Amino acid sequence: MARKIRSGNRGDMLLGTLDMLILKTLLPGPAHGHTIAHAIERTSDEVLQVEHGSLYPALHRLEDQGLIASFWGTSENNRKAKYYRMTPGGKKHLMVERSRWQSLVEAVARVLGPVTELRE
Amino acid sequence: MKWRRFRQRQRQDGELTREIESYLAHEIDDNLLRGMDSDEARHAARRRLGNATSVKEAVYEMNSFNPIETLWRDVAHGLRQLRRNPGFACAGILIMALGIAATTVIFSIAYGVLLRDLPYDEPGRLVALGSSLRESGLQRAYAGAADYFDWRGRQQVFEDLALTRPVANYNLTGIGEPERLQGARATASLFSTLRATPLMGRTYTEEEQLDPGTASSVAILSYGLWQRRFGGDPAIIGRKILLNGQPHEVLGVMPPGFQYPAREFELWTPLYIPPPALKDRLDYSYLSVARLKSGVTLDQARAHMTVLAANLAREYPATNKGARVIVGAMLSETTGSVRRALWVLLAAVGILFLAGCVNLANLLLARAANRSKEFSIRASLGATRARLARQFFAEAIPLAAAGALLGILTAHWLLKLLIPLLPASMPRTGEIGLDGPVLLVSVMLSAAAAFFVALAPAAQVRGNVERGPASSGRVRDLLIVTEIACTVLLLVTAGLLMRSFSHLRSTDPGFRPAQVLSLHLAVNRTKHGDDPGVARYLTQLIERVRAVPGVEFAGIVNRLPLGGQTQAGVIRFEGRDTPANADWRTVSPDYFRAMGIPLRAGRAFSENDCADRPGAGIIDERLAGEAFGRESPIGKRFRMDFSGAPWVEIVGVVGHLRDEGLDKDPRPQVYWPYQQRTQDRMAMVVRTSADSASLTAAVRAAIREIDPEQPLYDVLPMTDVLERTLHGHWLNTVLMGAFSGMALLLASVGLYGVISYLTAQRRREFGVRVAVGAQTTDVVVLVLKQGLGLAAGGLALGLALSAALTRGLGAMLHGVSPFDLRTYVSVGVLLTIVVSAASFIPAWRASRVDPTVALRQE
């Protein structure tokens, strides 16, 4: 039912990856949209380029699912900003997703393994 | 959660705007720190954010109930489109309403008559039992009384079974107008087998049934009779009423819904069969109903009864040799006679509905082509292809909904009109109604139609982009060919039925019905005594009626030809082995002249053929030919096929009658004089010098003069009796004609629409043709060719379908083969004419095109 999020390079980013990245970013503490966008870009060594606007539908959806919660606050720049924080449910979701991701990566690595060795 | 957000969308939207503004402010701050000037900083921030509107839209849609909301928006858009084009909307709604109305009417009749449960507890376990006596030529007789008692004593598959004599005439007297009531004499087990309990009082017991005294002095009333004649008297139980002049104690009143064997039966009395009557085992005039034990299937019951019948055949070889037991589900046995006609009508109406849908699809398709500009604009504004395709469904839904509503209302009205017109021979007409299951089917049909109708144009929107517009033309052609084929099939069916009907109309029944009045009377034995007494009374009646001015001849017969009542049996000719199965008739001397049955040889009966004279008999020409060939039958003897039956001498040969209907001719006839074989249920036929209906009152009065308590029933001119037997055929023909007419109308309108559209598209081309010297006729021929090409395809397909399918009409056709060439050719010619007319108009219009206008148009 929910629309596919318009990410920067539409379709390239695996579905749900953005959600995971957002949750990961909120793990240390609450942050507002701008911070989250830049944090994702930075921590992924600018590999994952996101059109920053696409963050908002995702945030909205996560809030809908009860994985994050929001409040209005004042930012470090002394500006009004909507802050998001992780809920306990969000934390659990992140753990589950992370281990699922891990096993997916391992599985893919096993399949692609020989090719990698050849290149080395 | 979602619902709350849905309602707060406005506020949420504002919040999102603020949030995005906050993002931009932060990004601009950062950019300024990076050393950009303020303009540059703002632009970079916006670039970074991406398309703010699409972000908002995404969030907005997330907060919507997507499918419903989109659908609603599409439907609203569809409604706007329809309002903008009321002609199209009306046409669509009318086509839909027509299809739904016709389908609903026929389905509600078919459902009520064929499918609805019988009004008994667990009706699926009720079966009807009958005997088939191949030896004597009775193919599908009622059950025999003697057989019934043996079945009941030996069978192990039924919970119980019952025997009913479905014809019992009771003259109700003593309270107001004397009336002949249709009653049934039944075993006590009838009520337990049907699991029917009385509303008041009780039903009779087996002891009461088997005792001749009580059996003839108790009665159960139907709810309707109790209300109608006794004003719903609460003290009716125990009251004595006069039936055939004898007091009967009312034991009980059945509840309103109870009926057996049919709705017109108002009275049930115990069936007492004197043991000697069971001896000859020849009385096959009963209905038998049984209830399967739980867990026993119909096939198991059949197998069981087959074994039982075989045993009986061994024990009573003289009568039961070759006899089989027919076990059929009660519902299908009840409706057997009309089932095929109803299924055929249902199929026809289904085809009509299909043709209507195809037509509507074509209209939508043509419109879609006209709206290609609208669609390309919407597509360029970002509407997805799915969204555009959905638009057609959204437009079809209001059409279908309005059509369904109008159609169901029309059906309601049509049913009221139609139910009284249904043939009297159709069972269960009281079960017909527009209720739950019927409405559900109608609504589901409409929904399916909406989907189907939108499918073609929706597919075209996709096709337009992917495969180019060529495919749409092919779809359109296919649709119109399908529609014409459906129309041809309906026309051929209607044509065959019409030919069959006119064949029946011109079939000679064997008598001259004009100026003959018929009426029925049942003689009260209590009052008029034994056979000589009844005969004397009948003589009096005949003589009195003959004295009425305007009456030429008056005669009586125990079963009126085409009256719907059978009395048949086996006779044997002296010195010949082969038995003959014939209609048994008791008549008075003038009957043949009154009815207009020609005397072929010998003499008619006379008043001298009375009880103390040698037995006389008359056979019809068919039997004379079958039994004696060219030899004269006069002076030969025959008798009923049981030992002890008296021999009678053949004194005359009369013309053969179609006794059971113009559409069948099962048996020859044998006649006995009424004084030698007296029957107490009689039909009087009166030949008059003027219009027979005008003498009705005088004849009634004459009979009342002899016995004021004599009820008369079914008083009808013989021509009406004849019409009544054709009524079912007439109705089928009329309905089928109406359906095929509607289909033809739809098809011609559809073809007209398509050809108009195509010529409109080729306007420019025609302009060029005319400009370079094409004649008017060239353009007309060009367009006509296109229309006729489509029609030829449809015609060929339709005729092929007809040849394959009309065989299903089977017994509905009389005197005409399902491959009747004349019908096929006529349909072909009719269709060609109509189709030519439908394509000629646009063709003519196209040929009038002014080349300068056409060429300047684009």
Report ipTM for this prediction: 0.79
Q: What are the tokens at A4?
A: 């596919």
Q: What are the tokens at B550?
A: 């305007």
* Selected residues 26-55 of chain A with any CB under 8 Å from a CB in chain B: 32-35, 37, 51-54
- Give which of B757, B760, B801 is closest to B483, Cα–Cα: B801
| DSSP string computed for B370-411 | HTHHHHHHHHHTT--HHHHHHHHHHHHHHHHHHHHHHHHHHH
Torsion of CA B832, B838, B842, B848, to 10 degrees: 70
Identify residue B477 by its one-letter amino acid code.
Answer: D
Q: What residue of A is the nearest CA neighbor of B68?
A: A1
B50/A81 CB distance under 8 A: no
- pLDDT at residue number B472: 58
In chain A, which residues have their Cβ closer than 8 Å to the Cβ of B3?
Answer: none
Instruction: Identify the residue whose tokens are 């139910």.
Output: B419
Which tops the pLDDT comparison, B214 or A119? Answer: B214
- pLDDT at residue number A49: 65
B23/A51 CB distance under 8 A: no
Give the best residue of B21, B23, B51, B62 to mutate against chain A (max A CB count within 10 A).
B23
For residue B313, how many other CB atoms are within 10 A of its CB? 16
- pLDDT at residue number B445: 85
Helix and strand totals (H; E) in chain A: 4, 3
Q: Which of A6, A60, A79 sits opposite B54 (nearest CB)?
A: A6
- pLDDT at residue number A9: 36
Give the best residue of B62, B64, B384 to mutate against chain A (max A CB count within 10 A).
B62
Q: Is A12 helix (H, G, I), strand (E, B) or coil?
A: coil
Measured in angstroms, the CA of B454 and the nearest CA of chain A are apart by 24
Measured in angstroms, the CA of B326 and the nearest CA of chain A are apart by 60
Identify residue B323 by its one-letter amino acid code.
Answer: A
- pLDDT at residue number A45: 67
CB B481, CB B790: distance < 8 Å: yes
A82/B18 CB distance under 8 A: yes
| φ, ψ at B249 (rounded to 5°) | -85, 130
Identify residue A91 by its one-letter amino acid code.
Answer: K
Say whether residue A10 is in contact with chain B using an 8 A CB cutoff.
Answer: no
A8/B61 CB distance under 8 A: no
Say whether residue A24 is in contact with chain B using an 8 A CB cutoff.
Answer: no
DSSP letter for B204, please: P
Say whether residue A60 is in contact with chain B using an 8 A CB cutoff.
Answer: yes
B26/A60 CB distance under 8 A: no
Measured in angstroms, the CA of A106 and the nearest CA of chain B are apart by 34
Tell me which CATH code domain A17-119 carries. 1.10.10.10
In chain A, which residues have their Cβ closer than 8 Å to the Cβ of B1?
Answer: 64
- Give which of B259, B428, B265, B419 is closest to B332, Cα–Cα: B428
pLDDT higher than 50, residue A7 = no
A52/B49 CB distance under 8 A: yes
DSSP letter for B111, please: I
Identify residue B790 by its one-letter amino acid code.
Answer: L
B26/A52 CB distance under 8 A: no
| φ, ψ at A78 (rounded to 5°) | 70, 30
- pLDDT at residue number B543: 92
- What is the tens place of the pLDDT at every residue in B785-798? 888 888 888 899 99
d(CA B167, CA B781): 69
d(CA B733, CA B709): 42
B15/A1 CB distance under 8 A: no
Q: Which of A2, A54, A82 sits opposite B19 (nearest CB)?
A: A82
CB B155, CB B308: distance < 8 Å: yes
d(CA A55, CA A8): 10
d(CA B408, CA B402): 10
d(CA B272, CA B674): 26
d(CA B391, CA B461): 10
Q: Which of B1, B26, B52 sits opposite A34 (nearest CB)?
A: B26
Strands (E), B478-564: 516-522, 551-557
In chain A, which residues have their Cβ closer than 8 Å to the Cβ of B58?
Answer: 3, 5-6, 57
d(CA B601, CA B614): 19
Extract the residue ranges of chain B whose pLDDT is less than 70.
1-10, 60-70, 133-141, 336-337, 369-373, 378-385, 424-425, 460-472, 854-858
Give the best residue of A60, A71, A87 to mutate against chain B (max B CB count within 10 A).
A60
d(CA B389, CA B120): 50
CB B624, CB B633: distance < 8 Å: yes
Instruction: Identify the residue whose tokens are 């196209």.
Output: B846
Q: What residue of A is the nearest CA neighbor of B19?
A: A82
Residues of B in CB contact (< 8 Å) with A are: 1-2, 5, 15-16, 18-20, 22-23, 25-27, 29, 48-52, 54-55, 58-59, 61-62, 66-67
- pLDDT at residue number B850: 73
- Give which of B396, B402, B389 is closest to B364, Cα–Cα: B396
Helix, strand, coil shares of chain A, percent, nearest 5, are: 55, 15, 30
d(CA A2, CA B2): 12
pLDDT higher than 80, residue A118 = no
Q: What residue of A is the nearest CA neighbor of B52?
A: A53
A53/B55 CB distance under 8 A: yes
CB B290, CB B126: distance < 8 Å: yes
A81/B1 CB distance under 8 A: no
Say whether residue A75 is in contact with chain B using an 8 A CB cutoff.
Answer: yes
d(CA B190, CA B209): 11
- What is the tens place of the pLDDT at every residue in B50-87? 777 777 777 766 666 556 666 777 778 778 877 877 77
- Give which of B323, B14, B25 is closest to B146, Cα–Cα: B323
Q: What residue of A is the nearest CA neighbor of B30?
A: A77
d(CA A109, CA A113): 5
B50/A2 CB distance under 8 A: no
- Give which of B356, B348, B350 is closest to B802, Cα–Cα: B348
B26/A3 CB distance under 8 A: no
Helix and strand totals (H; E) in chain B: 29, 22
CB B24, CB B49: distance < 8 Å: yes
H or E segment and range at residue B450: helix B436-466
In chain A, which residues have their Cβ closer than 8 Å to the Cβ of B20?
Answer: 53, 56
B58/A6 CB distance under 8 A: yes
d(CA B694, CA B688): 9
Measured in angstroms, the CA of B23 and the nearest CA of chain A are apart by 5
Query: In the A/B pair of chains, how many CB contacts fall below 8 A?
Result: 75
B20/A53 CB distance under 8 A: yes
In chain B, which residues have their Cβ closer than 8 Å to the Cβ of A79?
Answer: 22, 25-26, 29
CB A82, CB A33: distance < 8 Å: yes
CB B644, CB B709: distance < 8 Å: no
d(CA B732, CA B343): 11
In chain B, which residues have their Cβ closer than 8 Å to the Cβ of A1?
Answer: 66-67
- pLDDT at residue number A120: 39
Helices B52-62 + A55-64 axis angle, to 10: 20
A79/B20 CB distance under 8 A: no
Q: How far is CA B231 from CA B171, B174, B203, B227, B360, in A?
A: 18, 15, 21, 5, 55
A52/B52 CB distance under 8 A: no
Q: What are the tokens at B531?
A: 């056979």
B19/A56 CB distance under 8 A: yes
Q: In sequence order, what are the residues at sequence separation of 6 or more whose Cβ sits closer than 8 angstroms to the Cβ of residue B90?
A: none
In chain B, which residues have their Cβ closer than 8 Å to the Cβ of A3?
Answer: 58, 61-62
A53/B50 CB distance under 8 A: yes
